[in-house]
A and B are shown apart, each in its own frame.
Chain A
Amino acid sequence: MNEALRRLVGEAWAFRTRVEHDAASRFTRLAAAISSFDPASPAIALMERAAADERRHAGLCAELSLAYGERAPEEGAFPEIAPAGLPPRAAVLYEVVAACCITETESVATVTTLLAAPAEGRVREILHEIARDEVVHGRMGWGHLAREAAQTDVSFLAQWIPTMLAGTADEGLFAEAAPEYESEELLRHGVLPHSRKRAIFVATLEGVVFPGLERFGVDPEAGRTWLAARQGPPPARA
């Protein structure tokens, strides 16, 4: 593995360390918030468990980050992401949908894709451990949305889906990347080549996230428009 690739892989695992710290902090806060208005919700215990999972994942990602020569970030302060004008319960729902229904769902698809490719021994062990937990984390978000949809009108979320997506995906995801970012060798080290990452992101939105939102009463059309604008026009017919 050359130095450029090693650095790229190390940076990816360092970034994931930060993502996992962020998730641990968020799930702890959301569990407490949900217990204040829906103490019988199964999401409370699931989020408390998820917070512990994410702290463990942060350690695993940091281990790989260091193994590839990058120092992993420390746990930091992560802000709430819901728009300030939303009432508290709606703000919790916003954050659960952004963090779980979109981001955790995307993470499950990413890790599952990575596990389908050959990977280095320790990388594979860690991917397996994380994949098992991420499925639970994604499901608990969909569960919270389903539960809220049964009690109240959740359609207000539709207008916010593009904002959530813009905060999840960097604009760079839809641009061409330097050749080292497309190397198939990345897969052995637990990182998706750039164009593969984009394809998984798009297919997960189209195949899981948008139909899921629609199922629970959130119109995904604004999200689809956001995605179409980033993908450009369809290829012209011959």
Chain B
Amino acid sequence: MLFRKLFQVLVLGGAVVGSATGCSTRADAQTKPAPRDGGAAADAGTAGGGVKGW
């Protein structure tokens, strides 16, 4: 129950927030740019990380 509520508040609520102001360059699926990392992942100089939380 808690997690369903969190999904609604955070994820679905976030979708509303994200579209709230001037999404001027919205593109449809056919015109979306290709993934932006290309093959960069394997060449990344820094391995990447995560963020510690509570």
Interface residues in B, total, Cβ within 8 A: 44
Number of A-B pairs whose CB atoms are under 8 Å? 192
Q: How far is the CB of A227 from chain B (nearest CB, A)?
A: 13
Interface of B: prevailing SS: loop
A124 within 8 A of B: no
A46 within 8 A of B: yes
A178 within 8 A of B: no
Known contacts A46-B17, A135-B10, A146-B14; is-contact A106 B48 (Cβ 8 Å): no
Report B4-54 residues with CB < 8 Å from chain A CB.
4, 6-7, 9-11, 13-27, 32-37, 40-54
Q: Which residues of A contact B43 (CB under 8 A)?
A: 85
Interface of A: prevailing SS: helix
| A-B residue pairs in contact (CB < 8 Å), sample of 29 | A42-B20, A43-B18, A81-B48, A81-B49, A83-B40, A83-B45, A83-B46, A83-B47, A84-B46, A85-B43, A89-B36, A98-B49, A142-B14, A143-B15, A143-B17, A143-B20, A147-B19, A153-B34, A156-B35, A156-B37, A163-B47, A164-B48, A164-B50, A165-B50, A168-B53, A207-B3, A208-B11, A212-B11, A215-B15
